[in-house]
Amino acid sequence: MALYQRVLAIMDGGWCTGHLATDAAGTPVPVHSESAAYFCAVGALERAQLEFGSPIIKLSPRSAEIWMASNDQAGKALVQRLIRKRMTRL
């Protein structure tokens, strides 16, 4: 559950679409980059897992596609609601 809370906090700190992570100027960067400032839902999950020291959750390619499509098409609020819903199932 702490992982999902961290994912939400990362997204609240800076959110993007179209890339896993971008710097403050909007240039795509790796999620592990010190210059990463904005994250999509999948990028925030990857970043949180890096902070926790190991991959706790491995998204299937299909799940990653759904998260990314929701992030880019439906927006941050919907994705965060889906994450919160997932948290209640833990």
pLDDT tens, residue by residue, 55-72: 777 788 888 888 888 889
Residue 21 has pLDDT above 70, yes or no: yes
- How crowded is the C-beta side of 31, counted as CA atoms within 13 Å? 20
Counting the structural domains of the chain, the total is 1
The whole domain housing 15 covers 2-88
Return d(Cα 45, Cα 51) in angstroms, integer: 10
What confidence category does residue 47 fall into, taking pLDDT thresholds of 50, 70 and 90? very high
Q: Which residue has the higher pLDDT, 16 or 3?
A: 16
- What is the pLDDT at residue 1? 74
What is this structure's pTM? 0.86
- Residue 21 belongs to what H/E stretch? strand 21-22
Number of H helices, E strands in the chain: 4, 2
